[in-house]
Structure 1
Amino acid sequence: MTFAVPATPALNARIPGSKSLTNRALLLAAAADGPSALGAPLVSDDTTAFREALRGLGVRIDTAEDDPDAGDDSVWTVHGLGRGPAGAATVWCADAGTAARFLPPFAATGHGDFGFEGSDQLTARPVAPLAEALRLLGSDVTTGPGGRLPLRVRSRGLDGGELTVDSSLSSQFLTGLLMAGPLMRGPLTLRVPELVSRPYIDMTLALMRHFGADVQEATPGAFAVRPTGYKGVDLPIEPDASTASYVFAAAAVTGTSVRVAGLGRASLQGDLRFTEVLARAGARVETTDEATTVTGTGALRGGFSVDMGEISDTFMTLAAIAPLADAPITITGVAHARLKESDRVAAVEGNLRALGIRTETGPDRITVHPGAPGPARIVCHRDHRIAMAFSVLGLRAEGITLDDPGCVAKTFPGFHEELHRLFPRHSVPTT
């Protein structure tokens, strides 16, 4: 089934703020000297967990949700400590991987005794490389069995120094250490032999500089951070490019046109490059300074292989719609996606096979063949991206339902309502 290219104006999608930008900005603002106003932050399970964790570390954050006198509910005002935290606290990270990876280095630059705990899902994710890096910098760190949560930091500040960081599993380990660098007593040099998700490091560096840090990449994979501290500044949060991938893909497979304002050429988010993959699959893409628009052309092209290692949060979006293409699509470079909220490669493969779609996988790849998806209940594994990706396929395939539609609250609580608003004539699986 194909769709005519629309002659009507593009639909304007309402995409919430970037989780990656919101949580990084929260931490940098918490470490800064002076207040910072974060405009249009993402309000979701992950970001509120991160915000509450910072409050547990003694950071004051004003929101209209908590205090009607705080002003505009689309702004969070963070009153920075100007240093690392002090005292003692046990911090609940919930499901937020960014909290478990970013906050321990921040705590290590302070003075006190801080514990970090999380849900069973988060506890299953590794933190051993981060713990070892903090020990080598002089911090007293212990972890739970297998190098996982709970993690405890007894902090007396960090002197800085030189360190080689294992970032082959997650770029979040490097991000947490980089953001802590300006709070150390001396310069920090981090060398990274192998790095996944490079665009997230570029985002981190840009935000650190926005808050006044002096950080340089002298040679590829070698980062130098000076102990400058941070200054409070205001920051508008862009719409989430990873989340936008779902409405862009939906436009591609339904033959409609969708525009996301605020995601333009200057975006800090690497996942906007997902639109380049959609263009390769036959969609029309227009990116201006102000917005990005994707228009479906009536068919989805396959017959190509694409390395999505640097935009791995969007690989599931492509894999979920790949059965609608006219030839197989192979996605490579996603071995680290097996260590996210779920083993995402295995989860996508299992759900596609339940739909009757032929797939082949390897340690870092998946090939999806064309086919007619049959009815099936998608197993979400409490993973928001699995739920949202297969919801897009549900716009073109009848009988798809989700076993946990509510898990989208991790990053986009209103996802199902927005998808129905944009595509009311297509089936949307919400139960």
Structure 2
Amino acid sequence: MTLAVPATPALRARIPGSKSLTNRALLLAAAADSTSALAAPLVSDDTTAFREALRGLGVRVDVAEDDGVWTVTGLGRGPAGTGTVWCADAGTAARFLPPFAATGHGDFGFEGSDQLTARPVAPLADALRRLGTDVTTAPGGRLPLRVRARGLDGGALTVDGSLSSQFLTGLLMAGPLMSAPLALRVPDLVSRPYIDMTLALMRHFGARVDEAEPGAFTVEPTGYRGTDLSIEPDASTASYVFAAAAVTGTSVRVPGLGLGSLQGDLRFTEVLARTGARVETTEEATTVTGTGVLRGGFSVDMGEISDTFMTLAAIAPLADAPITITGIAHARLKESDRVAAVEGNLRALGIRAETGPDRITVHPGTPAPARIVCHRDHRIAMAFSVLGLRAEGITLDDPGCVAKTFPGFHEELHRLFPRHAVPTATNLPAVEGN
């Protein structure tokens, strides 16, 4: 079916703040020497879990009722004391906070949900041990993780960057709190845009960090200074409304997400342009307009923007030729094995899909009605909800899991596309425990 290109002005999407920026800024503000104000932070399960985890480490975070600004009173150092920190489902909390704790003094435990406990922390624990910290984990290198902290001296360290950029991010952000420079060498780094985001935010909070050559970082023991920051809309979340514009032949604009964005996932719009969508990015906003067709017949490496690969894979059945996505092996270690989860749900919809260790190929087809298995993974739920705008009979087994990053997702999708069916939390039973 050919869709008409809209002649009306672009719809303005209401995208909440970036999770990646919010949680990084929370930690840097907590380590700073004075108070910082974070405007427009994301309020979701993951960010509130991170905020509460910081409070468990003795950091004061005040939330303004009138404008939603989060004010963080920095410790000016690592935390001190004892206690157990609950990370809930937040992978960033389990990977950013142990290095922060290790720069302090005390005995800190980190625990999480069953879903988070299934995700590995062994590479991080090993790196902290090599920096001189006493760290223990559960069998298999998983949570619970315990840090007996007495400060970190810094020094030279080589870490495996092929599994998750979050391990490296946690170590980098701890660097300015060490007593001597930290020299990190990281071969095979995945998700490079997230490291660039981390470095930019560290510098915003006063850190000195250099990269003499790709993957070779030196962090000076400068500490952090308190500063204010306005959080951008989440580019990963914006991928769903951009993809929805492409498949419905409408035009959607996201203010606050423009040329100066710190988020690599905005590059998802470049992939949409390859499918035939029109993309306009200015200093103030990004707009995507569907052109009536969805072109396939290409292969794209999405390793650096892997949080958006599911968005493309979910709408790929609507294209006019197969689409192959590569570079996504590390996506198997996220909230779910995302490559397998996408393949399984596409097959349930009657769509031909083939996978390898780091790739998936999706063929064109007409999706049959099916119930999507979300695996408690917010990105699976949101990606297949976009396909549901063009395919009848798609439902979700766990619509409420979107609260991890976008509690109002279903309502916003319905507001933007009221003529299309949207699987929502109101017409499906919630899964117990969510």
Deviation digits for residues 331-385 of structure 1 (CA, Å, limit 9, x no counterpart): 0000000000000000000000000000110000000000000000000000000
**Percent identity among equivalent residues?**
90
- Kindly state the Cα deviation for residue 211 of structure 1 after the two structures are TM-superposed: 0.1
| Matches of 2:39 and 2:368, distance apart in 1 | 43
Superposed displacement of residue 64, structure 1: 2.8
Q: CA deviation at 1:193?
A: 1.1
* Alpha-carbon distance between aligned partners in 2 of 1:303 and 1:74, rounded to the nearest angstrom: 45
CA distance in 2 between partners of 1:78 and 1:125 (Å): 29
Task: Give distance in 1, aligned partners of 2:282 and 2:2.
Answer: 28
Q: Distance between the aligned counterparts of 2:347 and 2:126, measured in 1?
A: 39
**Tell me, what secondary structure is at the counterpart of 1:141?**
strand
Aligned mates of 2:115, 2:211 — CA distance in 1: 34
Question: 2:157 aligns to what SS in structure 1?
Answer: strand
- Matched with 1:62 is 62
SS at match of 2:410: helix
Find the partner of 1:149 among 124, 143, 147: 143
Matches of 1:343 and 1:240, distance apart in 2: 22
Whole-Å separation in 1 of the counterparts to 2:334 and 2:89: 11
Q: SS of 1:248's equivalent?
A: helix
Q: Secondary structure at the match of 1:391?
A: helix
Deviation at 1:20, TM superposition (A): 0.2
Task: Give the deviation of 1:166 after TM superposition.
Answer: 1.2
Q: Which runs of 4+ in 1 moved over 4 A?
A: none
| Aligned mates of 2:148, 2:160 — CA distance in 1 | 22
**In 1, Cα distance between the equivalents of 2:411 and 2:52?**
27
Structure 2: distance between partners of 1:193 and 1:167:
6
**Cα distance in 1, alignment partners of residues 354 and 411 from structure 2:** 33
Secondary structure of 1:294 counterpart: strand
CA offset digits 1:34-58 (Å, max 9, x no partner): 0000000000000000000000000
Quote the Cα distance in structure 2 between the aligned partners of 1:232 and 1:307.
38
- Deviations along 1:234-271, one digit per CA (max 9) or x if unpaired, are 00000000000000000000000000000000000000
* Deviation (angstroms), 1:74: 2.0
Partner Cα separation in structure 2 for residue 193 and residue 316 of structure 1: 26
What SS does the corresponding residue of 1:114 show, helix, strand or coil?
strand
Q: 1:386 & 1:187 partners in 2: Cα distance?
A: 40
User: Which deviates more, 5-14 or 56-65?
Assistant: 56-65
Distance 2:357 2:394 in 1: 27
* 1:396 equivalenced with 2:390 (yes/no): yes
The Cα of 1:73 is off from its aligned counterpart by: 3.6
Structure 2: distance between partners of 1:121 and 1:223: 32
User: Offset at 1:225?
Assistant: 0.2
Alignment partner of 2:144: what SS? strand
In the alignment, structure 2 segments of 5+ residues that lack a partner are 423-433
Indicate the residue corresponding to 2:162 in structure 1: 168
CA RMSD of aligned residues (A): 0.8
C-alpha separation in 1, matches of 2:2 and 2:219: 53
Could you tell me which residue of structure 2 aligns to residue 246 of structure 1? 240
- Greater CA deviation, 56-65 or 296-305? 56-65
**Any idea what SS the aligned residue of 2:119 has?**
coil
Give 1:146 shift.
0.1
Q: Following TM superposition, by how much is the alpha carbon of 1:167 offset from its aligned partner in structure 2, in angstroms? A: 1.6
Displacement after TM superposition at 1:3 (Å): 1.1
The separation in 2 between residues aligned to 1:39 and 1:54, in whole angstroms, is 18
Alpha-carbon offset, residue 2 of structure 1: 1.9
* TM-score for both structures, normalised by structure 1: 0.98
Counterparts of 1:106-125 in structure 2 under 5 Å?
106-125=100-119
- Paired residue secondary structure (1:155): strand
- Show CA shifts across 1:290-313 (max 9, x none): 000000000100000000000000
Q: Deviations over 1:62-101 (max 9, x none)?
A: 0035xxxxxx342100000000000001000000000000
Deviation of 1:218 after TM superposition, in Å, equals 0.9
Say which SS state the counterpart of residue 392 (structure 1) adopts: helix
Pairwise CA distance, 1:5? 0.6
SS at match of 2:25: helix
SS at structure 2 position matched to 1:37: strand
The aligned counterpart of 1:292 is 286
Cα distance in 2 between the residues matched to 1:235 and 1:311: 24
Distance in 1 of aligned mates of 2:87 and 2:118: 13
Render the CA deviation track for 1:76-131: whole Å, top value 9, x for unaligned.
00000000000001000000000000000000000000000000000000000000
Q: Secondary structure at the match of 1:146?
A: coil
